[in-house]
Structure 1
Amino acid sequence: MIDVSAAGKVYRTPGGDFTALRDVDLRVDAGEFVAVVGRSGSGKTTLLNLLAGIDRPTSGAVRVAGTAVHELSERRLAAWRGRSVGLVFQFFQLLPTLTVAENVMLPMDFCATVPARRRRAAALALLDRVGIAEQADKLPAALSGGQQQRAAIARALANDPPVLLADEPTGNLDTATAAAVLDLFSSLTRAGKALVMVTHERDVSGYTDRVVTLADGRVLADAAVPA
């Protein structure tokens, strides 16, 4: 589902070149939950951005859901991303003036993957799947942090993408709520999604299948979690 081969990323800055990733190899199959860990500046978010097509590798190849992402034009990237990748962020990124249901419907509107007359029902089904159907007609500000993150996960699932990418999704949550979100992620991978989660948390092995450690832009370790 995800195949990164010898990927490198160099940023050109006024102070000189900065190498964020060096010869990174990574493979993630359907149904796998992979955590990417490392210190700040290790390249975690850069790797996630390459997987999402938000950024392009300077060298190497990035293939996600059967597509060579690094070869797509900007126009084709946007269409591909909307259908193939669901993104979950630390700060939720819900639009404050839309209800929770409307936030979940937004990706469907952009990609027209669901007929207009069926979008609200589809959004309500996703909100029920993540356990907050009763919050559908509230604005995000009325929800707790954990509920907002569940809404963001429902939005990421709106177009039924095969790949989910999560950037520090538990960073703003208390311990119990974070555990509930990780449980939800585990259930999604059991249903066949490939999920890559960037996190500062080290103790995620109870939920993930593998832990990939980055240091100075390189893969320092790629270890399966014992069953």
Structure 2
Amino acid sequence: MIEISDVVKRYPLGEGEVVAVDHLSLTIEAGEFVAVVGRSGSGKTTLLNLLAGIDRPTSGTVRAAGADLGGLSESGLAEWRGRNVGLVFQFFQLLPTLTVAENVMLPMDFAGKIPAVRRRDRALELLERVGIADQAGKLPSTLSGGQQQRAAIARALANDPPLLLADEPTGNLDSHTAQAVLDVFARLNAEGRTIVVVSHERDIRAIVGREITLVDGRVVADEGDRAGARA
């Protein structure tokens, strides 16, 4: 599902530069549930952005979900991302003027992968799946944080992507709600979906199959049994 080969990512900083990812190589098999952990500034979010094609490496190659991302144009990346990657963020990023159902439908409208006549029904099915179908007609501002994050997960699943990427998805939630959201991810992985989560949540170890620790943009620990990955 993912193959990163000798990737470096540098950002300009004043008259110098900062190395966010430093000669990192990594393989993630289809069906794995991987947590990427590390202190602030370790390169976790940069790595996730590289996997999503949101950012490009300074050098090295990133292959994910059947594509060499370096060979795609910006429009090609956007099309690839819309069909193959579901993104979940810490602060939900739901559009405030759209209902919850309309937020879930939006990626379907952009990608064109789901027939127009099926989009609303699919949005309702996904909201049912994450346990908030009764909130479909409401605006995001009327939902709790946990409900908004569930809506964001439903939106990430809109085009049935094989790869789900989440950046601190529980970082803005209380511990009880965070655990409920992590349980949603665990169920999705049990169905065979590949998931990579950047997290500070200590309880993440209980549900992921593999934990990768970054320090200064390098992998310093890679723990877990990849034998459980689903081909």
Superposition TM-score, scaled by structure 1 size: 0.97
Of 40-49 and 184-193, more deviation after overlay is shown by 184-193
Q: Does 1:206 align with 2:206?
A: yes
Q: 1:132 is matched by which residue type in structure 2?
A: I
1:80-119 aligned within 5 A: 80-119=80-119
Report the alpha carbon displacement of residue 14 of structure 1 after superposing the two structures with TM. Answer: 2.5
Report the alpha carbon displacement of residue 173 of structure 1 after superposing the two structures with TM. Answer: 0.7
Superposition TM-score, scaled by structure 2 size: 0.95
Give the secondary-structure state (helix, strand or coil) at the position aligned to 1:203: helix
Taking the aligned partners of 2:37 and 2:133, their CA distance within structure 1 comes to: 32
Q: Does 1:224 align with 2:213?
A: no
Residue 163 of structure 2 aligns with which residue?
163
RMSD: 1.3
- Which ranges of structure 1 fall in alignment gaps of 5 or more residues? none
Give the secondary-structure state (helix, strand or coil) at the position aligned to 1:42: coil
Question: Could you give the per-residue CA deviations for residues 140-198 of structure 1, whole angstroms, max 9, x where no partner exists?
Answer: 01111000000000000000000000000000111111111111101111111111001
Report the alpha carbon displacement of residue 204 of structure 1 after superposing the two structures with TM. Answer: 1.4
Residue 58 of structure 1 aligns with which residue?
58
Taking the aligned partners of 1:200 and 1:15, their CA distance within structure 2 comes to: 32
Aligned residue-pair number: 227
Report the alpha carbon displacement of residue 13 of structure 1 after superposing the two structures with TM. Answer: 2.8
Residue 145 of structure 2 aligns with which residue?
145
Q: 2:210 is matched by which residue type in structure 1?
A: R
Q: Does 1:176 align with 2:176?
A: yes
Q: Does 1:42 align with 2:42?
A: yes
Taking the aligned partners of 1:212 and 1:157, their CA distance within structure 2 comes to: 24
Of 114-123 and 23-32, more deviation after overlay is shown by 23-32
Runs of at least 4 residues off by over 4 Å:
none
Q: Does 1:189 align with 2:177?
A: no
Report the alpha carbon displacement of residue 225 of structure 1 after superposing the two structures with TM. Answer: 6.2
Residue 22 of structure 2 aligns with which residue?
22
Of 10-19 and 206-215, more deviation after overlay is shown by 10-19
Give the secondary-structure state (helix, strand or coil) at the position aligned to 2:204: coil
Query: Is the CA contact 1:37–1:202 (under 8 Å) kept in the aligned structure 2?
Result: no
Report the alpha carbon displacement of residue 124 of structure 1 after superposing the two structures with TM. Answer: 0.2
Taking the aligned partners of 1:33 and 1:70, their CA distance within structure 2 comes to: 25
Give the secondary-structure state (helix, strand or coil) at the position aligned to 1:76: helix
Report the alpha carbon displacement of residue 12 of structure 1 after superposing the two structures with TM. Answer: 2.1
